[in-house]
Structure formats: C-alpha cells, structure tokens
Structure 1
Amino acid sequence: MAFSSNRVSKGLILLLIGVFCLINIANGAYQVSVMGARKQRHCVSISSPVFNGTHLRVKRQGCQDGTYKHEGRDCCLCAAGQRLKNHCTTSPDDRECEFCEPGISYNSEPNSKESCEPCTSCSHENANLEVDEPCTPYKDTKCKCKANHYCNSGTCKICQPCDKCDATGVKEPCTATSNAVCNESKSLGGGEIAAIIIAVLFLVLVAVGVYIKRQTIMKRLRPNSDSSTPSNHVDVPLLKVNMEPHLLDFAEILGWKDMKLVAQKCDMGTAIENLEISHPKDIEDRTIELLKKWIERTGSNASVELIKVLRRNGKNNKADKIQQKLKEINSSSQSNSA
C-alpha cells in the first residue's frame, strides 16, 4: 500500500513539472512574436520615407559647371572631357558640346574652348618613358620611367639609367624617383690615412726641392740672360665674323661636348634637352642646331663671345682653331670684296 502511494506522488510531481514547462514555452513564444512585430513596425517606420520618395528628390540646376560670357550672354560651360562646338543662342544651356577623341585629345576641366588639348606622348626614343595611365577625354597621359631608370624631378621628360653596384652591393635599390645607392667601399683606418698623408707631404717636399734646385742650376747656366724678355704670346684681335654660313666647319671644330658647355654658360638647358631627344643618334646635326640657336641668341658678337667662353673654360686649343678659322673667313671676304 505504501509502495503505490509513493508511485502516485511521483506521478503528480512529474505532471506538475510538465505543466510548468508548457507554460514557460508558451510565454516565450508569445514574447518572440511580440518582439518580431515591434521590429517589423520599427523597420517600416524607418524605411517608409524612402518609399514615399522624400530622400530621392534632387533639385535641378541650370549650369552645374558654371558659365562664360559670349556676346553679352551667359552660356553654360562644357563639361570636362568635352569641347565647345557652338555657343548658346537663346538660353544658357542650348550651347553644343562635343567629346574629345579618346587617346588623342582631352580637356580636364569644364571649359569654353573650341578645341581639346593634345595627349602627351611617352614614346620619345631617347626619353626612356612608358605609359603609366593612358590618355582619356578627361585627363592627359601619365608617363613613368621604364624599368631600371629613374627621374627625381617633378615633371619628367627624360629618365636616367640607374647606377649599377657591382662589388660594393646595393644599399638602397633604384626606384622610379631615386637612383640606386651603393654601399660604401671599405674605409681606411686612422693609421693608413696618416701614412698616406705623410707620403703625400714627402712627395710634395721632394718636388719643391727639385724645382728650386733646377731653377738655381738654370740661373747659373744663364748668368747674362735678360729676365725682362717679353713673352712669345701675342694677343690677336678678336674678329666679328658672320658664322652662320660656316656652321658645319665650326661644329666640327667644337664637337658636341664643348658646344654643350658653351650653351650651358648661356642657360640653354632646355634647348640642349630638346635636341638630345630629337637627335638621339645624330651628334653632328645636334651640334649644328645647338650652335645655330646659340648664335641667334648671342647676336652679331657671337664669334668674339665664342672665343672668350672657350678660353675662360680652358679650351685654348679649340679657341685657337676657331680663331684661325675666323681669320681665314675674314681674309676671304676681304679679298672677294676687293
């Protein structure tokens, strides 16, 4: 009898537990449904302005890129990538615009120009450039240096080859905007530097001693020599001669290196750079063209100035040859006139 009453009690407890669980499950489902409904109402309230179009309405403007004046009338500018074909006649926005040709021309800003700007070329033979970004109607070509070349100026027309580090090794590699930096060679120690300095000083003292001794011997051998004997050097008057008919002769005497030196003294760096690009292999034509530009810039005094520049820079041999050539030309012209 006691055993059956225990079984009844356990059954009632299990029943109560089951009822309690069912109540909790039902309550949780209700809360979930209520929260879902709230979220739906919240989403609808947030997104509802989008559906009625209030955030998509855009106020239209007449000339978005600005205007320009034509015959006292305001006309709308053409957009970037376009050029003006016809001016406006009745209203600001009835002007006609036309797109620039892709890969050939461009306009990067709103404008009233009747033509587009030509695209920059990166294909100069001696410039070591290649295309980084192609030309579009909206922007010019962007060039960059070819591999193993660099340019450290803002606008690059010519890229220079990178230095090669052989035995020392590379400290900083070459980039598009900076040259390679090589490791420094092994520096000498303090003792080695001191030994070199002592050796150099010794050689200098020996050379000075030999020079003094030689001068003393020469004076003894020539006791009656006249120290006031004039120098053999004679200043030849500089001639003003028209050099243009004889450009080839003078260019052959000068050569590109010394002609470039003369032009650099007149701040003709841009002309030199352009000729190196346009005549990368023909040095003779390049020298003649630069000499012609230098003569045009210097004027009628070019022959005199050329001799002066060469002598100031230690080019006496070529100055003598130029002067001799000028003398021949001058003599020839005088004989012809006679």
Structure 2
Amino acid sequence: MWRILLALCACCTALPRHTGASPLGPGLSRTQRDVTCDVGVEYRHGDLCCRYCRAGTYVKSHCSRSGGEGQCEECDSGTYTEHDNELAKCLPCTQCRLDQELVKQCTHAEDAKCQCKPGRFCHPDEACEVCKRCTRCKTDEEAVRNCTSTTDTECKKVQSKADAPSDSTVATVASILVVAAVCVIIIALGLYKWRLKRSDSQSDQPDSVKPELQYNFPSEVRGDSDARRLSRQLEEEFPKLVPVKGEESLRACFEYFEDLSMDYYRRFFRSLGLNDNVIKGCDQQQYEDRIHELLNKWVEKEGRDAGLDVLLRALLDLSQRRTAETIRDQALQAGHYRR
C-alpha cells in the first residue's frame, strides 16, 4: 500500500508547473476583456474608458480613471475639430484655392467654407478640383437661370416674333423712304420751276437761284435726314448704360472682351489711346490675360472717363457691331449695367 502512495506522489511531482499564462490570450487580462465603454461618449484607453474631448479641442493627455475625462486642450489657430473626439492633435483648416473665395472663416470647431468665384461654378456632386467657367448664352439665346457657384447658366432660344421685322428689313424700308422723299422733293421743285417760267414774274427771278433750288436743296435735306436717322438708330440700340457698382461693374465686364478677334485687338486698343509699346509689352501673356491687362492699363489712364460706352463705341468704329451687341447684352443680363 505504501508503495502505491509513493508512486502517486512521484507522478504529481512530474507534472509541469503553471506558468501564469492567461487562458484568455497573450497580453489580455480578464479586466481588459470585461471593459465595455459607452459608445459615442467614451473611448477605450488600455483598461480604462475615457470621455471624449469636445469639438474644438483635442486630447492632450488621457484619463487616469474610467468614466473620467483626460486633459483636453483647445485647438491652435488654423486648426479645428468638428466633433467630440479622441484625436491627439487638431486638423488643419482648409485653404481656399485661387479660383475660390472664402465664404466662412475657420473656427476651432468648424472648418472654413469656400465657393467658386463669380463667373465660375462647380457641381456639388463632383470632385471640385477646379472651378469651371460659366456658359455664356449666344446672341439668339436668353438666360433662364443665372450661373451660381454650384450651377451653370441655363440658356434657351429666343422665340422670334412673327410681326417684328428684322434689322435688314428695317434698313431696306428706311432706304426706300429716303429715296422716295428725295424724289418727291425733286418733283416738287421741278413743278415750282415750271410754274415760275409761266408766271409773269419770271423775269424778276434771277436764273442763278433756280439751279441752286433744284440741286442743292434736295441734297442738303437728304444729308440731314440720313444723319438724324442714323443718330437716332444708334441712340436706340446703344443707349448710355449706367453702371450698378461704378468701376467694379466695368472691370466685371472685362471677360466679355476675351472674344474680341485677334485681327482687331491691336487696332481696338490703339483707338483707346494705348501706344504700341504698351500693347507689345503684353504679347508674352495668354490672349485672355493680355486683354485684361490692357483694359486695366486703359482704365488707369482714363480714370473717371473710362466706361463701357466708350469701349462699345470703339468697337462700332471698327465695324465690330456684333461683338458690341454681344458685350452689351451680357453686361445687362449679368446685372453689371442697366439702361
């Protein structure tokens, strides 16, 4: 019997000793496994549940007991956190690009807000890597929705009025009326001359007066009539425009001159009083930048006398009527000028 007891003691002595390894896995104590933090309110740090730092701050040091809050530090200038967080540092504020303008300043608890500058747009459902230039309606179109920072211009065809005559028809009718008026005057003067010959007082009338009445008078009437008609027509089609915001309105219209033909742009700026050295000095720039630069130099030279009407008259003098009409219509539709 005693031999059996000795054998059992020897077996117990041969068994391996407990090493202290946790059956829950390496590095994880039963306390850590049982930790459950309040979702949305606390975050886990080791075997503790620390409360989130508020928006506008970050975690400078963690809590020392569960349910407590560590040391939260306010974000530095130029950084932010928008929500309760466990971040070790704040996020840098967004910087607006060159084609954007700042809408709302960055604060400790909210990022900066940017949007495309006037004349450009970017759809909100697209990656806005660059702002696109707003579409310009053609001369036979009208804007049904103006361009915004997030939507492009919407244009539609202008419905032509059946009763409204075209410009060419008006010009033809006017020419016919002028010719008819001249013919009537010539006929009237011819009858007057014929009656003078039949009257007894013909001898008292100097012969030199008759040719003058017959030829010079109709031509003078015709010249004055044409001049007045053309002057009225120009005043109706190109009335003096009133800027809504002074010089700012004029500069806002510079982009409309980007469509000016390269064949005319030198003559255009010479007619505005800029010398060839100034014009050639901008030849290395892109064409659009060149137009803006020269228009800015012209405004600086003219000062208060600078105006959109002066630019439109210069285009008319160069027979660029269509370009002048397009720029006039764009300035009115955009609200930079009013009649």
Provide the TM-score with structure 1 as the length reference.
Answer: 0.33
Specify which structure has the higher proportion of helix: 1
Taking structure 2 as the reference length, the TM-score comes to 0.33
